């Protein structure tokens, strides 16, 4: 998927990831988890099942000194699975703190709303420092109070 561009706040809002995100307990800590439709989750598992795959994640950060949006791109090498999840970072500081701390990202079916790691596909970030830099940008630019 090519890098996405949004011109207005309305475009950002219209493209926000709708299934949501949460934190899950994993190995004694909290890991951020993006929720996807059960169909998308099954699709992803079918593409990676039985294969040795590596995941590349990219955080594309958009900010205007008040609002911060992060377009999270996940691509599995050797497959055609690639997804973008546009997140409103102002309301998700804890999510991005956990991302920077754990260096992990989970993907789970959206009906998996309980806080454990069952049915969560875990991805080790190839570049944890990118998540740490993103957190600094988010903290210094998200000016709206967290709702």
Q: What is the CA radius of gyration of the chain?
A: 15
pLDDT band at 118, cuts 50/70/90? low
pTM of the model: 0.88
Whether residue 67 has pLDDT greater than 70 = yes
How high is the mean pLDDT of the chain? 89
CA nearest 61: which of 143, 145, 147, 131? 131
pLDDT in tens, 33-58: 999 999 999 999 998 888 888 888 99
CA nearest 38: which of 123, 121, 125, 124? 121
Strand, helix or coil for residue 13: helix
Q: Helical H runs in 33-145?
A: 38-48, 93-102, 128-141
Taking the C-alpha atoms of residue 19 and residue 3, their distance in angstroms, rounded to an integer, is 21
Strand, helix or coil for residue 126: coil
What pLDDT, on the 0 to 100 scale, is given for residue 146? 45
Place of tokens 């998200």: 142
Whether residue 130 has pLDDT greater than 60 = yes
Q: Which two tokens stand for residue 41?
A: 């989750």
Whether residue 115 has pLDDT greater than 70 = no
Domain ranges of the chain: 9-140
List the end-to-end C-alpha distance of the chain, in Å, as a whole number: 31
Strand partners, 29: 26
Residues 108, 123 contacting (CB under 8 angstroms): no
């Amino acid at each position: 998927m090519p890098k996405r561009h949004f011109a207005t706040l309305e475009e950002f809002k219209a493209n926000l990831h709708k299934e949501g995100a949460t934190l899950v307990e994993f190995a004694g800590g909290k890991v951020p988890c993006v929720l996807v439709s059960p169909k998308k989750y099954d699709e992803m598992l079918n593409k990676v099942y039985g294969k040795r795959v590596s995941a590349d994640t990219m955080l594309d950060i958009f900010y205007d000194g008040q609002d911060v949006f992060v377009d999270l791109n996940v691509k599995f090498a050797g497959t055609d699975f690639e997804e973008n999840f546009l997140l409103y970072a102002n309301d998700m500081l804890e999510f991005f703190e956990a991302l920077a701390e754990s260096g992990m990202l989970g993907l789970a079916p959206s009906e998996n709303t309980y806080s454990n790691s069952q049915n969560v596909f875990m991805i080790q970030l190839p570049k944890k420092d990118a998540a740490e830099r993103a957190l600094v940008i988010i903290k210094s630019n998200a000016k709206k109070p967290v709702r």
